[in-house]
Amino acid sequence: MAKKADKPVMNPDEAPEELIPTEQVEAVVENKDEASTKSTAKAGKRSKKALEAAEAKEEKEERKKASATSGEAKPKASVKPARPKSERKGKNYKAAYQQIDHTKAYSLKDALALAQATSKVKFDASVELHINLAVDPKQADQNIRGNLVLPHGTGKTVRVAVFDDAKVENADISGVETITKQLEKGEINFDVLVASPANMAKLGKYARLLGPRGLMPNPKSGTVTTDVARAASEAKAGRVEYRVDSTGIVHTSIGKVSFKPEQLVANAEALMTSVRNARPSSVKGNYIKAIHVASTMGPSIAVDASA
């Protein structure tokens, strides 16, 4: 008896739709969509990931539009204003602050006496003079800087090092080799470094160590000179260097609270004279805008700049 031929298997893609179950048709359609997406990516067009990202971006934009039109914007939370500095300080500062009439500008002598009276700290505080100048520090000729020896010193003990082989009487450390060995170890045992022009080249390799600390000798500050003995004596006697900051203000310490009033006045007047003499010719009109005096951690006292 002859064997019956096997019934040929019908390809779902070639079979009539009425003979194929609905679920199978949907699966075939989905497979075709995926295949077309993959072929799109292979052809150099947008990938599936890029298409999904674009759809997500569109949905996000639609949500933004819906939220903007749906209701009013939410009110912002109220921010409490910061309290004045005088209210945020301790009781000693508040007591000192109340001793000052902030509606007037004092004479230099009265302001310095008041700065001494309002110092409430337990150590010998410094007295500082802050001078606001009508200059633009970005201009080379208006970048005010200078140095002077205060008549009565600063009240600080200054350690002076002289980068020269000559023997200097007022130097705490001297000698090129001695200072070089300390710098090689990263040790800085001085507050002022004086050098002769001939030895400045040897300090070049230590610029990153000395520069950020303001200890690199500079001709403008008087620490690079052939007369190193005189420079060391002036540093010991109380020479100060001043320079305007980025806002055009000079900040300088002129002594200690323990100084006599006349000593502070003499130091302040010497600084004011030096700053006035450094006035550039390009500045017209009022050169000194404001002056304030303050002790360390003490309140500020306005000084009459026109006096």
What's the pLDDT tens digit per position in 166-203? 888 878 888 889 999 999 888 888 888 999 888 888 88
Q: Strand 192-195 to strand 160-163: parallel, antiparallel, or no bridges (unpaired)? A: parallel
pLDDT of res. 1: 47
* Torsional sign, CA 97, 99, 100, 101: positive
CA distance 181 to 80: 56
CA distance 206 to 199: 13
Residue type at 43? A
- How close are the terminal C-alpha atoms of the chain, in Å? 136
Unique residue bearing structure tokens 């690199």: 216
CB 270 within 8 A of CB 238: no
Quick one: average pLDDT of 17-31? 54
pLDDT of res. 170: 79
pLDDT over 70 percentage in the chain:
81
Say if 101-155+238-307 and 157-237 have the same CATH topology.
no
CA distance 253 to 256: 8
Q: Which CATH superfamily is domain 157-237 in?
A: Ribosomal protein L1/L10, domain II (3.40.50.790)
Strand partners, 251: 130
Kindly report the number of other CB atoms within 10 A of residue 253's CB atom: 19
CB 212 within 8 A of CB 205: no
221, with CB counted inside 10 A (0-12, 13-18, 19+), is buried
List of residues 6+ apart from 264 with CB closer than 8 A: 112, 116, 127, 152, 254, 255
Structure tokens at 256: 């200690």
Residue 180 is given by DSSP the state: H
224-246 pLDDT, tens digit each? 888 888 888 888 888 888 889 98
CATH code of the region 101-155+238-307: 3.30.190.20
Pick from 16-30, 44-58, 67-81: least confident: 16-30
* Torsional sign, CA 224, 228, 232, 234: negative
Checking if the pLDDT of 17 tops 70, the result is: no
- The helix (H) or strand (E) run that includes residue 58 is helix 48-70
pLDDT of res. 71: 56
CA distance 61 to 197: 69
Question: To the nearest whole number, what is the mean pLDDT of the chain?
Answer: 81
For the whole model, what pTM was predicted?
A: 0.63
Per-domain residue ranges of the chain: 17-63, 101-155+238-307, 157-237
261-275 core/surface letters (b: 16 or more CB in 10 A; e: else): eebbbbbbebbbebb
Residue type at 221? S
CA distance 293 to 129: 5
131-163 core/surface letters (b: 16 or more CB in 10 A; e: else): bbbebebeeeebebebbbbbebbbbeebebbbb
